[in-house]
Amino acid sequence: MKVKYLALALAAMSAGAANAYTDNETNLYITGASAIRNNVAASIKKLCGDAGGALTVYKNGSGVSSLANQMAYVCTEPMAGTSITTVLHTTTGGSLNSILGMSSSTTNKAPDGAFYQQQPMSFSGCDASANAGTGALAGYSVKANCGLDTKAASNGGFSDVEYGPAIGLVEGLDADADGFTIGDVSAKTTGVAQAFGVAVNNRMYKDLQTAQGIVGKAISTPTDINGDGDTSDSSPNESGTCDLGNPLPDCQPSLSSLQIRALISSNLSTAEKKNASALGLTAGTPITYLKRPVTSGTQTSAQVFFLSKGCANGPAGGELDVVAPGPSYNGGKFIVTNNSGTGNVLNALATATNYYFGIVSAENRAPVTMGTDAWRFIKVDGAAISDGTATGLNKKTAIKGDYPFFFEPVGYKGPEGKTSTDEAALIDAIADKMALKLADDGPTTVGLFISPVNPSGYAYDGAEVGKLVRGGSSPSSCQPLQAF
């Protein structure tokens, strides 16, 4: 028995937990980005099918229509030529935990107080029989209500962006305390790109529409928003003119990069932070920025894109800092909260009171019905990522190079003792599968598209393969976009 297996087995025995997670030769435990978790699941399902197996999805918590922060995927056959049948996937804390989550330490923490190690799903307490999944889990056989295990070291995982712009979080990893250093970690580009969007609550969306003179404007192309096969529905209008809350691109309000920068930078005296009226909104109404934790790749991507943070920090300088969560600013006119996961941001957007905004991945689809708890993506610099429909893939404009707010996720693996040869091979196989076209047995992805630098050598096609790239074969989110 390898040393790491023995140590974990002993730890599990001393904890006395039933069905406790133990690292072994048939499992892979990945941690990191929540932004691409649906697409990772779709990849694993394809790999299981390729192996001639059947997949069962296990999830923490109830419900079979959405993914949890802690999932497990069990295939009846070993996948991708490895010995592995079970993939545990935990996305608490987000992207940087694809590296930090491998720590051997049960006590080390990120600066915002979250442990490096995350809790994998436990196979205790799961439903006895599987049910057909719906929504984001449609097409899967799902066992819900599984519990959680005690925290444990992972074998690596996926990050929305490479660690470079957030290197301060990982450069302190210690060979003795954590069992590895950042120099021991290997990175592999995934060959895909993930789009992000600026999401606002119901009231902010409607008030921005009004401020920008959008209500009553013509809808240029009648569009089946609710997916029922016609273009004649009226709530919201599928044809005719824009009404309040209408999600179609013609009807979406826009904020400029300059305005978003003024909202999320650490400069407290911007007009946008002092009074909502600077954005054409109701004067004096509080605006809340739904920020994500420091380990979130979604947060890092927003900071790189809007603030050059972690990038323009050489001798010439230029980066801007991000506003800190905490007490409200400017007499309550501007508020910043910390939100552990994407789900927390979406839950917080479900209010009709005051103004709320945050950044979430375009893997998420806004509800097409504009209830008081609905949210919407807005345009950034006049470009929309959402087509406003219930089935939109949230990527067409990014693929064509008209929407630049996207980054290229990276797969991270540790040294021997953290990531076995088979575990590393399966992490690579999951990434490679995501970067396949539908015609080549790739998964259907939302908000995620194939980069022009990809393992299959696909060229730009305007539908699945994009035109622009930041890092190419060597991850670098700080590079300007280039055509390839």
Judged by the rule CB under 5 A, the positions of this chain that interact with Ca ion are 23, 27, 224, 226, 228, 230, 233
Query: Shortest Cβ distance from residue 422 to Ca ion (Å)?
Result: 8
- Smaller CB distance to Ca ion: residue 224 or 402? 224
Give the DSSP H or E segment for 399: helix 396-399
- Smaller CB distance to Ca ion: residue 68 or 425? 425
Query: Shortest Cβ distance from residue 398 to Ca ion (Å)?
Result: 25
Query: Shortest Cβ distance from residue 416 to Ca ion (Å)?
Result: 13
User: Position of tokens 């592999």?
Assistant: 188
- Smaller CB distance to Ca ion: residue 248 or 279? 248
- Smaller CB distance to Ca ion: residue 48 or 290? 48
User: Position of tokens 């091979």?
Assistant: 425
Query: Shortest Cβ distance from residue 329 to Ca ion (Å)?
Result: 43
Asked if 78 contacts 84 with a C-beta cutoff of 8 angstroms, the reply is yes
Centroid of chain to Cα 275: 30
Query: Shortest Cβ distance from residue 376 to Ca ion (Å)?
Result: 18
Asked if 468 contacts 484 with a C-beta cutoff of 8 angstroms, the reply is yes
- Smaller CB distance to Ca ion: residue 73 or 460? 73
- Smaller CB distance to Ca ion: residue 88 or 169? 88
Phi-psi region of 52 (alpha: psi -120 to 50; beta: other; left: phi over 0): left
How many residues would you count in the chain?
Answer: 484
Structure tokens at 254: 């826009």
Query: Shortest Cβ distance from residue 155 to Ca ion (Å)?
Result: 6
Residue type, 224: D
Query: Shortest Cβ distance from residue 101 to Ca ion (Å)?
Result: 14
Query: Shortest Cβ distance from residue 219 to Ca ion (Å)?
Result: 13
Residues in Cβ contact with 155 at an 8 Å cutoff, skipping those fewer than 6 apart:
23, 28, 29, 30, 102, 413, 414, 418, 419, 420, 423, 427
> Phi first, then psi: what are they for 372, rounded to 5°?
-65, -20
Query: Shortest Cβ distance from residue 8 to Ca ion (Å)?
Result: 9
Structure tokens at 340: 């552990």
Collapsing DSSP states into helix, strand and coil, what is residue 354? coil
Using DSSP bridges, classify how beta strands 355-361 and 86-90 pair: parallel, antiparallel or unpaired: unpaired
Centroid of chain to Cα 476: 18
Residues in Cβ contact with 414 at an 8 Å cutoff, skipping those fewer than 6 apart:
102, 155, 156, 180, 184, 185
Query: Shortest Cβ distance from residue 413 to Ca ion (Å)?
Result: 12
Q: How many whole angstroms separate alpha carbon 435 and alpha carbon 421?
A: 21
- For residue 149, which of 209, 86, 211 has the smallest C-alpha distance? 86
- Smaller CB distance to Ca ion: residue 23 or 408? 23
Sign of the alpha-carbon dihedral angle for 73, 454, 154, 418: positive
Query: Shortest Cβ distance from residue 234 to Ca ion (Å)?
Result: 9
- Smaller CB distance to Ca ion: residue 86 or 303? 86
- Smaller CB distance to Ca ion: residue 171 or 228? 228
- For residue 288, which of 208, 351, 224, 370 has the smallest C-alpha distance? 351
Collapsing DSSP states into helix, strand and coil, what is residue 375? strand
- Smaller CB distance to Ca ion: residue 207 or 423? 423
Instruction: Find residue 75's DSSP bridge partners.
Output: 55
Give the DSSP H or E segment for 366: none
- Smaller CB distance to Ca ion: residue 233 or 402? 233
Query: Shortest Cβ distance from residue 229 to Ca ion (Å)?
Result: 7
- Smaller CB distance to Ca ion: residue 102 or 169? 102
Q: How many whole angstroms separate alpha carbon 459 and alpha carbon 454?
A: 9
